[in-house]
């Protein structure tokens, strides 16, 4: 093995770790939004990651992710909310005014 081979293996491992961490954050967002919507008596329709970027949070470098999610309060309407997470920590959940069923 030469230096180029080692560098290539390190890059592949770093790419795999990056993918794994972002996937873990997305799954945590889905779980959190499912629980949030159940607690608010809403129906979760879909979740999409809008933005992911590295950021320092409380002295730790982690991924700041912003998600858009669609939900319904009556089963016939659709609203879009936002979720912001730093790593696995939920920072904010915003929902627009919606009809209460």
pLDDT in tens, 51-64: 999 998 888 899 99
The pLDDT, as a whole number, for residue 59 is 86
pLDDT in tens, 34-43: 999 999 999 9
How large is the average pLDDT for residues 5-21?
A: 94
% residues pLDDT > 90 (the chain): 85
Tokens 């949070």: give the residue.
57
Q: What strands, in cross-sheet order, belong to the sheet with 60-72?
A: 43-57, 60-72, 79-86, 89-94
Domain limits of the chain? 3-94
Whole-model pTM above 0.85? yes
Centre a 10 Å sphere on the Cβ of residue 92 and count the other Cβ atoms it contains: 9
Average pLDDT, the chain: 94
């Amino acid at each position: 093995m030469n230096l180029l081979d080692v560098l290539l293996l390190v890059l592949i491992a770093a790419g795999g770790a990056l993918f794994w961490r972002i996937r873990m954050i997305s799954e945590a967002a889905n779980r959190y939004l499912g629980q949030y919507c159940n607690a608010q008596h809403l129906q979760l329709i879909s979740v999409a990651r809008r933005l992911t970027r590295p950021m320092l949070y409380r002295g730790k470098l982690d991924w700041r992710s912003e998600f858009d999610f669609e939900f319904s309060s009556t089963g016939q309407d659709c609203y879009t909310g936002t979720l912001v997470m730093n790593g696995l920590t939920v920072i904010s959940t915003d929902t627009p005014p919606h009809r209460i069923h």
